[in-house]
Structure formats: C-alpha cells, structure tokens
Amino acid sequence: MNSAAVLEDFSETVPPELHAKYERLKSVIEAFKSVLVAFSGGVDSTLVAKVALDVLTPQNVLAAVAVSSSLGDEEERFALELLREIGAPYITIGTSEVEDPRYAANPINRCYFCKEHVYGALVSAARDRGLDIVLDGFNAEDTMDFRPGRKAGRELGVRSPLHEAGFRKDDVRVLARHLGLSNWDKPQMACLSSRVEYGIQITPSILKQVDRAETALRELGFPDLRVRHHDKLARVEIERAMLPRALAQRDEIIEAVKAVGYSDVTIDPEGLRHGSMNEGLKNLG
C-alpha cells in the first residue's frame, strides 16, 4: 500500500484525536531542518525516525544506535535491520557508560549517568555533522515511570516529539501499524542494566550473563520477559498470559538460566512488570 493510501486508510479508521496528534507530531519535527534520531529499535524511536524521514526527507535525517555492553546482541542486530528496512541513514556510536564508576555503582539514578554519556555522544555527533537537534522516543506515558535519564536529555537539549505531541504508548502502536512499521507490536525493551538490582555493581560480564539468559528463554518460546539479576539469583518475569506454560516448562527454564551461571532461579508469580526494579521509585522523578 502506498503512502497516500496508508494515510487515507488511517484517517478513516482511527479516532480524530489520534489524527490530530499525528499532525502535531509532524509539526514538531518539521520545525527542524535536520535531525539525529536516538534509535533503539523500539516502536517509539522507530515512529520518530519514520515520521522524520517522511517530513524532512532522508537527506536531512540520521539515526544513531548507541552500542555498549548494556545493549543486547539481538537488540543491536534488530535495530540495524529495522533501519535498513525503513530506509534511514544511520551510524553506530560506541558509548562507555559502563566504565563510568558512577554508573557502574548502580545507584537508583544510574540511568542519569547512562543518558549523560549516550545523549552527550549523540549531541556531539549531530553537531559534527551540522544537524540541528537530537530527537528521542520518550512518550507521554513514560512520565509515569521513574526516568532519571530524562533529566540528562533535557539538560543536553534533546527533544521528545512524541511527548510534545501527547502520544501515549497505544497511540504510538496504532500509528506505527498504519504507517506499515513491522515492529508496531514489538514487546517493550530496556537496557540490560535495568535488570540488575540497584546497588549490585554493574560489569560487562553481568550484562552478558543476563543477555544470554534472556536469549535462551526466548528460544524456548517466551518472547516478552525479563531476567532480573539478584547476584546469584535470577528472578524470571514472564508475561502473565504465558505463566501457565512457563510453569509447565519450569525445569527447562531453570536449566537454561542455570546454564549461564546462576545458582538459583525463580519464576515470579506476578509475571512481567516493565520497570519492576523501579517499583516504589516512581514518585522520585
């Protein structure tokens, strides 16, 4: 389906409020001559990149993937494949947040130090290439979680067009689907460090351990999950609808997670809660 047909179908099948948000989103992005999009491979940053490509043309858009130990191997491959799929020019930028002792100490504001490194690198890359601004995929619903990294972004002048246009997560997915983005229903992801209990020192080896455990469980047929790292204990969160299946495959799950070095494994009976490490912190920022 061509772009005109997609948009005609969109205007006929979605609420007027979302169409109005889409127009606001385009207006926010059109205000810049050129942009660098902080790209993670998630649906939020993909939508920002797609709309930027549509309104500014590929000559004025550059996507950037920040690569470090906190990015899973599968997530990096997926992000690059997706950028090629939507036709976005892109670069990868190595970042060294894990080497920062403030970040590695894993305090509750760890994400601030992460974004200080990542956004700082992206802002420098944009400046070096003569691009006007860095855009990220922060949306209006993200304000409900504890997001200290957001402060770093604001301090460095990063703009969040989805948030400015009032997009919630459901809005993002509906628009992404109508614009033909293949990852419109991709499970929400976060950096590997978000799996590590606050106060436990973050190291590349721990992040690799978490990544290997989650990859093994996805291979068992659980696409949306988290392996929470509590030193020798791995607490596995699997989406609630799949908990009966997970319990039926309990022995396989335990074996797979122990194979990457955990001594103890538990399946959380509450199921997957995005941002569960931040429970109790959401009013702090």
User: In the prediction, which pLDDT does 158 show?
Assistant: 97
Secondary-structure percent of the chain, ordered helix, strand, coil, rounded to 5: 55, 15, 35
Quote the CA–CA distance of 273 and 194 in Å, as a whole number: 12
CB atoms within 10 A of CB 184: 17
Tokens of 59: 């000559």
What pLDDT does 207 receive? 97
Total residues belonging to the chain = 285
pTM of the full predicted structure?
0.89
Please check whether residue 265 is in contact with residue 229, taking contact to mean a CB–CB distance below 8 angstroms.
Answer: no
DSSP string covering 141-153:
GGGGS--HHHHHH
CB 171 within 8 A of CB 24: no
Q: What is the pLDDT of residue 188?
A: 86
Neighbours of 250 (CB within 10 A): 12
As a whole number of angstroms, the distance between CA 235 and CA 264 comes to 9
- Rounded to whole angstroms, how far apart are CA atoms 138 and 179? 19
pLDDT in tens, 171-194: 999 999 999 999 999 988 889 999
- What are residue 227's DSSP bridge partners? 236
pLDDT at 283: 47
Name residues of the chain where pLDDT drops below 70: 1-12, 143-146, 275-285
User: What is the spatial distance between Cα 267 and Cα 77, in angstroms, rounded to a whole number?
Assistant: 28
Q: In this predicted structure, what is the pLDDT of residue 7?
A: 53
